[in-house]
Amino acid sequence: MFFYKFKFWIEESLYLMSLLTRNPKAYLISMAPVLILGFPLLPVYLLYTYLSSDVDQKVLNHYLSLHRYRTSIAIRDEDNNFIGAIPSQLESPSKDFNHQQRQGALYVKNIPPVFWDVLMAREDRYLDFDYSHIRFWDMLTLKKRTYKGIDIFGMYSRILQDKGGGSGLINLIIKNMKGQAYFREKYGQGLTGKIRRKLDEFQGARHLFPYLAKNGGIEFKRWIAMHVPLLVANGDVYGIRAVSATVFGKKPKNLTKGEQAILAAAYLYNIRLQPPQFETAQKFFQARQARWNRIIRSAKEGVKNAYQTKNDLQYKSIIAELERFKPPEEPRLPASLQPFIADKSFNKKQAYANLILRTQAFLPGLDNLISSQIKQFYKKLPDNIIITEVKITLPGSNNYQFKRNLDKVLKKIESTYPFNKTLVPSNDPHSKKRADIRIVVAKLSGKIIRYYRRGEFLEGNRSVRRMASIAKIPAAVLLANLGDQPNKPLYCNQAYNNLQNASSSKGIEKCDRDRRKDWYTPKETFGASKNLPLRYALSKKHSISKAQLIQLYKAFGIVHPNQLKGSATTTENLIHGLSFGVAKATPMQMHRIIHELTAILYGRAQAPYFIEFIKFNQRDLISNESEMKKVTTPLKSAPLKIKDYLKNSSAKTFVKNTLSAPVYSNTGTLRSFKKIKGVRFLLAKSGTSQTYNKQNVKDKLVMGSMKIGEQIYTFSILVGSKAGDVDGLAKKVSHSQLMMPIMKEIVKSLQR
């Protein structure tokens, strides 16, 4: 193929050689233009020849994978507020790229027309998507300047004039999608590094541009609007959609013509909302104003180039808007969220220009949960699908107000009682002194509507915790299935292996029916969270078999520590796991248990979920057409098998009576909850686990459901310390001291 590319040159050379043999003087005269012009044009021809070679599908797929990896995910709340963004959660297509180099860009469907016109006029006015009909002769005569996005003559002109190295828009796409760190680490600095970087960009143009140029360059316009930073914000997502939101508080399609021109000019002078740490406020204001002045001048120049000769009315209209333009002084948030930063200092306000940090601020801890769900969902998708947006069930403003109020409550609790861990937000997110706190509230329909999280809740088996007395819930369901009556004294407080009840009672050696005080009803057992009577019920009264217990554990999605270790379990192990709370589950699994149990007893429901829907872009590799699709609630878990144990009304009545007793009995562990007004608790269970060495409180837990007005909610509260922590949360702390104020704030939040 290369030979045919040189056919014209070979034929001309043969003609000149034949001329030399007949007339040497005529030969020299004829060769002079070739000698003068040929040498500088040879590199141009060689580059044109390289660019016109066939596309390597493997290389193209690499760029498409990188685009997929670099497309971050927008997060919207229940009220459709644009909360922020998270990286794609995909594995990098190469070890050379990572999200630390560049977080990625938010997907944008349609590119505003003035933005594109001004950008082309300002950065790459000769760009031509109809490249397939361009010949080398067209370039020599300057009939066409660019081939596959490369302005070859413009590139040489800019290099000679020292104007930035001759990068066109295709170069910027490749350079910014890969990241400066990639080029710096791979090719180094200096002239050699620049040349090698250019060759890398030329390779991208050769294989990528034909794909991007289809359909009038629709995909090219999208990529250039996505993968080039317009805002100085390290560690954040990039592109027109992100900057439109943080600078103007708008979607790209809603930008005014002047705002579009400003964002096009920001390709040369990035907008800065965040001050560098070393700058004083005064210096920052001065520097920012100077930067805005440069951006506005550049925008005017771009508008002039784009419209003055083609559309004078459009030109004058946009210039007039730019003359009136007043740069925003702080980042924009959705209207319902903007008041939350009104009382913050100038520097703290500027942090909300970073969408990654904004997500962490408004959804503390939830971004990690979304990330883990997205990772799992991506594994089910083909390579031509890109997740672009996630809508969550949380109402952003209400949940953030709940967070702020709860922070105040926790601060008051901490100031009143001694704790080994701090309950209030800490400047050091990884501090060993910080408590693990996780609060979830869901409607019976399954929607999670309140979420609060601080601390390290790890994924998979590493996130399981001792359930403490929450493990008594499956035991209550099993005893209901076996026909026990809630108000009959059925369970003996019999001693076992020197173990004790939560009240420090070690039980009696021999059960005597005549001693009523040694026998407990199920309501008393579960209300006061008695360990020994429950063990008696499971091992002596009913003699539950190992097979029954294994089936029960599986139905509730819980595990015994021996199962996690791969060790054999005995009947006694499994009974001990329920009655003394050493059985384990993740916090979310514990919430699922109380949620699905409430649904069985009080109404139909789905498992708790916090992702309302996922939007994704499905790319057609043949026609290069994109289609936006939506998957509604795709990440709900399969239901537990609790209902298999509650098939008659007497069994359901047993559970209702025994699991409301912690609140409404005189000895209930949560009887302080009766002081909370405007709520009726349906089910509730508390739990306390201790550290192994010092026997301090490690975790305090409460799971339950309640009715406020006509709405039923389920809730879970966990306040504790990390695995392996010997000091624990506190030496001693009651549910009345810690959980009642938290529960009170939860109820207030739902009543507002």
Confidence of residue 457 (pLDDT cuts 50, 70, 90): low
The yes-or-no verdict on residue 54 having pLDDT over 80 is yes
* Tokens 């912690």 belong to residue: 662
Residues 527 and 506: their CA atoms lie apart, in Å, by 18
Least confident of 72-76, 368-372, 576-580: 368-372
Is 417 strand, coil or helix? coil
User: Residues 69, 88: contact at Cβ < 8 Å?
Assistant: yes
Mean pLDDT (whole number) for 450-464: 72
Residues linked to residue 536 through DSSP beta bridges, in sequence order: none
Angle at 540 between CA 536 and CA 542, to 5 degrees: 105
Residues 164 and 188: their CA atoms lie apart, in Å, by 17
- Environment class of 19 (CB within 10 Å of its CB; exposed 0-12, middle 13-18, buried 19+): middle
Residues 496-505: tens digit of each pLDDT: 988 888 777 8
How many CB atoms lie under 10 A from the CB of residue 29? 11
Residue 20, pLDDT score: 46
- Environment class of 620 (CB within 10 Å of its CB; exposed 0-12, middle 13-18, buried 19+): exposed
Least confident of 35-39, 84-88, 124-128, 497-501: 35-39
- Rg, C-alpha atoms of the chain: 34
Residue 407, pLDDT score: 94
The tokens describing 578, both together, are: 């329920």
The yes-or-no verdict on residue 626 having pLDDT over 60 is no
Residues 439 and 649: their CA atoms lie apart, in Å, by 31
User: Residues 209, 131: contact at Cβ < 8 Å?
Assistant: yes
Confidence of residue 276 (pLDDT cuts 50, 70, 90): low
The yes-or-no verdict on residue 150 having pLDDT over 70 is yes
Residues 378 and 90: their CA atoms lie apart, in Å, by 8
Q: DSSP for 509-527?
A: SS--TT-GGGEE-HHHHHH
Return phi, psi of residue 231, to 5°: -135, 135
Higher per-residue pLDDT: 6 or 131: 131
Residue 167, pLDDT score: 63
- Starting at the edge strand found earlier in the chain, the sheet holding 711-720 runs 448-454, 436-443, 711-720, 697-708, 680-690
Torsion over CA of 398, 400, 404 and 407, rounded to 10 degrees? 110
Q: Which pTM value belongs to this model? A: 0.85
The yes-or-no verdict on residue 123 having pLDDT over 90 is no
Q: Kindly give the pairing relationship between strand 105-106 and strand 71-76.
A: parallel
Confidence of residue 692 (pLDDT cuts 50, 70, 90): confident
Is 164 strand, coil or helix? coil
Residues 214 and 662: their CA atoms lie apart, in Å, by 67
Alpha helices in 559-669, H assignment, sequence order = 561-565, 571-579, 587-602, 649-658, 661-664
The yes-or-no verdict on residue 698 having pLDDT over 90 is yes
Angle at 211 between CA 210 and CA 213, to 5 degrees: 65
* Tokens 């994978």 belong to residue: 65
pLDDT over 90, % of the chain: 51
Helix-, strand-, coil-residue percentages of the chain, each rounded to 5: 50, 15, 35
666-to-457, 519, 528, 674 alpha-carbon distances in Å: 35, 17, 9, 11
Residues 448 and 585: their CA atoms lie apart, in Å, by 19
Higher per-residue pLDDT: 598 or 198: 598
| Count, residues in the chain | 752
Residues 18-33: tens digit of each pLDDT: 544 555 555 455 545 5
What is the overall mean pLDDT for the chain?
85
Residue 277, pLDDT score: 57
Closest by CA position to 389, among listed 61, 632, 97: 632
